[in-house]
A = this chain, B = another copy of it.
Amino acid sequence: MPRSVQDHRQAVVDLLSGISGSKGAQDLPLLEALGAVLAVDVRAPLSLPPFANSQMDGFAVRSQDIPDDGAQLSVAEPVPAGAVPAPLRPGFAAPIMTGAMIPEGADAVVPIEKATPDSFPQPETPDAVVQLPPVKPGTYVRDAGSDIAAGTAALAAGTLLGPAQLGLLAAFGMMTVQTRKPLRALLVTTGDEVVEPGQELTAGKIYDSNGTLLEASMRQAGLGVVRAGINDDDPGSLLRLLRRHTGASEDPVDLILTTGGVSKGAYEVVRQAMAAQPVEFVHVAMQPGGPQGVGTFDEVPFLGFPGNPVSCLVSFEMFLRPALSLVHGAPALRTSRTARLGESLTSPQGKHQVRRGTLQGDGSVRLEGGAGSHLVHALARSNALVHIPGDVTELPDGAEVEVWML
C-alpha cells in the first residue's frame, strides 16, 4: 500500500522538527538577515510614530479657533520635519510639512490645498495671514503610537524576515536581529552513470543535473548546502562519505539528502548503504517522485530522493520545502492558485500527479512536456507545478486545477 503525499510530508516534518530549535540563534546585521527567521519575540522599543505628526503639507491649527464659516488666522513660524516646534498660540496657524511634529496646542491639520492662498507665505513675511475652513479635531494628525505602541508585541519568533519586517526593525532603531541559524544539509548525488559537468561524457553516462538543481533550490530556501559530489554505486564508499559529515566529524551537518538508489532495482546504493540504519524506503502515491527514503543515518536526519531530476524537484517542493516552512519558518510556502487547464490530461488512478506547466496571462496553464520524470528541458520552461489529485484520472481542457507558482 503506497503512502499518501500527506503522510509522507508529515513524516518529513516529524524528522525535521527536532533540528530547527536545537540550532540556536545568531545576531545578524539587518540586511544579512534577509530571508532568515526571527529567533525571538520582538516588542516595540518605541512607539511608531514616536510623536504626533502631520499627515499632510498644510497648516497646524487649534480646531476650536475656526468656526463653521472658516476663519482668518495669523501665520506662525513654519514647522519643518525633524524640528521641535514652539507651542501654537491661539489665533495662529503654523505651516507644517508631512511628518513634522504637531506643535503643542494644535490638534488638527488643514491641507495646503484647502487654504486661501493655497501656498505657504515666504518665511519671515511680516503679518502674513491665511483663510482656513473648519476642521474636526484629529484631522490629518498621525497620533504617537497609532501604528504600534512602545512595549507591545511587534514580531513573533518564527517570523520570516523580508523587506517589510526588516524595515520595521530599522524603524525601531535596531541595527541587528537575532535569527535562527540556518540548517546545513549535505547533498550527495549517486549513480555509476552520473558524471560531473565539465568532465568527458562517455557512452551510457549522463551529466549530473540533480546536484545543481537541488543545491539551487536548497539555497533559495535558505539552507546551507555542503556538496559532496557524486558517489558511484558502491555502498561502502557512500557510507565512508556520509560519515565524514556526521557524528565524529568536526562540523556535522543537520540533514543528509541523497538522490538516486532508492528504488527496487538490483543496484540501489542508498538502500544498501542504509541497511543497518533506521531508514524507511517507501513508495509514495505520487508521480513522479514515488520512491522515497526517510529516517536517520548515524542519528542525522536523512532523506533519499529518487534519481531523476524532475522527481528530485518535485520531491523537494512537495516534502522538504513545505516541511522547512512549517518547522523552521522559512522559506515562505509556495503561492497556490487555481488555473484552467489549457488541454485535457489523464492521470493514473490512486497517484497524486504533479505535472509541470506555464501559467499564461489569461489564467490558463499550459502543460510542459509529458509526465516523464527525465524531462528536465520541459521543466526548465515551466513556472508552476500542476496538481492532479489521486482520485482524478482524467480532466478536460478548461478544467480548474490547483497550481503552485515556482
Residues of chain A touching chain B, judged by Cβ–Cβ distance below 8 Å, are 30-31, 34, 44, 46, 48-51, 55, 57, 78, 80-84, 95, 97-101, 112, 120, 123, 142, 146-148, 154-155, 162-175, 191-195, 197-199, 201, 203-217, 219-220, 233, 263-267, 307-309, 313, 332, 335, 337, 369, 372, 374-380, 382-383, 405-406
Contacts and interface: CB of A to CB of B under 8 A. Distances in A.
**Which of A55, A123, A264 gathers the greatest number of chain B CB atoms within 10 Å?**
A264
Prevailing SS type, chain A contact patch: loop
Nearest to A152: B377
Given A216-B162, A376-B147, A313 B167 contact: yes
Contacts of A372: 55, 142, 146-147
**Which of A49, A194, A195, A213 gathers the greatest number of chain B CB atoms within 10 Å?**
A213
Contact of A100 (B193, B220, B376): B193
**Which of A46, A199, A211, A377 gathers the greatest number of chain B CB atoms within 10 Å?**
A377
Contacts of A332: 383
A237 B307 CA distance: 60
Contact of A263 (B48, B98, B220, B374): B98
A205 B214 CA distance: 47
A263 B56 CA distance: 10
Contacts of A84: 203-204
Contact of A82 (B168, B204, B263, B378): B204
Nearest to A112: B264
A98 B207 contact: no
B206 A99 contact: yes
B376 A204 contact: no
A402 B263 CA distance: 44
**Which of A98, A112, A174 gathers the greatest number of chain B CB atoms within 10 Å?**
A98
B173 A377 contact: no
Contacts of A120: 266
